[in-house]
């Protein structure tokens, strides 16, 4: 049971995490700093428009930074900010839930390999 007040408290975060690709995108950046093209390949088949949209929103919300390295060809890197990295416990909690509660109600608990989810 939760206190009612937390409902509206969480709301601004839901706004940040909204969108089909936002969480997969953040997960990619948790693995490490990435360039536009690499994100696009990893998140295949995301469209460049959608990827740009999401990146801009996350940048605006202070979750990631965009660093431009001038030159030809262009080189742009996206990286999590402190605020962004602080989201880690949320993903850790999600991961833990999946491990402990399985993929579906019918299946039993899955035996999982040792997976390094924590901070490296």
> Which of the stretches 9-17, 37-45, 90-98, 100-108 binds DNA when contact is defined by CB under 7 A?
37-45
88 binds a copy of itself (CB under 8 A): yes
Characterize the bridge pairing of strands 75-80 and 34-35. Answer: antiparallel
**Residue 111 contact partner, candidates DNA, a copy of itself, none, CB within 5 to 8 A by sort of partner:** none
**Residue 44 contact partner, candidates a copy of itself, DNA, none, CB within 5 to 8 A by sort of partner:** none
Which of 9, 24, 26, 92 is closest to 61 using CA atoms? Answer: 26
Q: Which residues pair with residue 78 across a beta bridge? A: 34, 66
Cα separation, 91 vs 83, whole angstroms: 14
> Which of the stretches 53-61, 80-88, 89-97, 101-109 binds DNA when contact is defined by CB under 7 A?
53-61
**Residue 90 contact partner, candidates DNA, a copy of itself, none, CB within 5 to 8 A by sort of partner:** a copy of itself
């Amino acid at each position: 049971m939760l206190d009612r007040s937390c409902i509206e408290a969480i709301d601004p975060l839901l706004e940040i995490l909204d969108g089909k690709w936002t969480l997969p995108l953040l997960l990619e950046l948790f693995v490490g700093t990435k360039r536009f093209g690499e994100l696009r390949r990893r998140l295949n088949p995301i469209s460049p428009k959608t990827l740009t949209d999401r990146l801009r929103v996350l940048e605006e919300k202070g979750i990631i930074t965009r660093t431009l390295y001038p030159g030809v060809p262009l080189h742009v890197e996206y990286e999590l900010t402190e605020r962004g990295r602080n989201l880690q416990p949320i993903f850790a909690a999600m991961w833990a839930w999946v491990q402990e509660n399985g993929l579906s109600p019918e299946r039993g608990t899955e035996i999982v390999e040792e997976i390094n989810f924590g901070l490296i």
